[in-house]
Chains A and B, each alone.
Chain A
């Protein structure tokens, strides 16, 4: 009996750390973008143009390392999350929620689209990848791109959308999981093992 418990402990710890790192890297990316957009331009405003370039360049060097690391960790931990929840992402949530609430009418196409958590996950991951690519593009090369602040502002908006899609994915996934548990779906056997409170 000890073996499965131990392996569950380690796998749960791994998933917890992975989820934690996903959020931490998100904070670094969002905070860095905001800092670059709001604080750095004011901080270098009083300097001469040559000094400005040198300060901006140095800050960019630090930013580059953290962005590259965060990008790698975000993609890795994102893929870990997808692997963990794959069976739930595939479930037609609208049909199950209807079953739980006792409705006999078949769900509309819109409800089916909104209640499949996999679609939300795909939108989140796609937008997430876009944000990561823009951040990498901003730190690539020896010189910053023209209008770096404008690029940062645009990426900040993309990041806001990415975080919203992440939250929405999670809400739909939880709703579908709860409903699937209520109807006793077999797919849930591959979902995380419940604890013994």
Chain B
């Protein structure tokens, strides 16, 4: 069994899952402000998900780096934006949820930024797949 392939699948799964928890969880907190102050139970899940996002994101990037280098100008740029905006959103949301009564405005900005982060990730994924397809050299000629 190719363990690296299994690890990549699991890492991607955890990354998407944690993205769902962070984006969806904060989105619902913004939508239901009366419940937000009681969101203490959600806090450890939120912080754990952020940590896992950074860890699995780094692993995914390490695995995909060779493919990003197939089209470096564009793929490195989109990847850089994905990380930069992700970190900005993370800092904003940690600040927003640090107080006993979370700041609704900051959370709303944070979640809007997160939707852009997800858009950049989807773009990165699509462009990477296309770059891989473009650069796969047929081996039939020497078969």
Given contacts A30-B17, A43-B35, A174-B129, contact A20 B119 (CB under 8 A): yes
Mask for A28-71, Cβ within 8 A of B = 1, else 0? Answer: 11111011001110111000000000010001001000000000
Say whether A34 contacts B45, CB under 8 Å: yes
| Least CB distance, A32 to chain B, in whole angstroms | 5
Residue in contact with A31 in the complex, picked from B20, B74, B129, CB distance below 8 Å = B20
Option from A15, A42, A171, A192 in Cβ contact (under 8 Å) with B8:
A171
Please count how many residues in chain B sit with their CB below 8 Å of the partner chain's CB atoms: 54
Neighbour of B32 across the interface among A20, A24, A62, A188, CB < 8 A? A62
Q: Write out, one digit per residue, whether chain B residues 124-143 have a CB within 8 A of any chain A CB (1) or not (0).
A: 01110111111011111001
Q: Is A127 among interface residues, defined by CB-CB distance under 8 A?
A: no
Tell me the minimal C-beta distance from B137 to chain A in angstroms.
7
Closest 5 CB pairs of A and B: A31-B24, A194-B134, A181-B136, A184-B138, A197-B71
Q: Which residues of A pack against B, CB within 8 Å?
A: 12, 15-16, 19-20, 23-24, 26-32, 34-35, 38-40, 42-44, 55, 59, 62, 100, 160, 163-164, 166-168, 170-171, 174-175, 177-178, 181-184, 188, 191-197
Interface positions of B (Cβ within 8 A of A): 5, 8-9, 12-13, 16-17, 19-21, 23-29, 31-32, 34-42, 45, 70-71, 73-74, 115, 118-119, 121-123, 125-127, 129-134, 136-140, 143
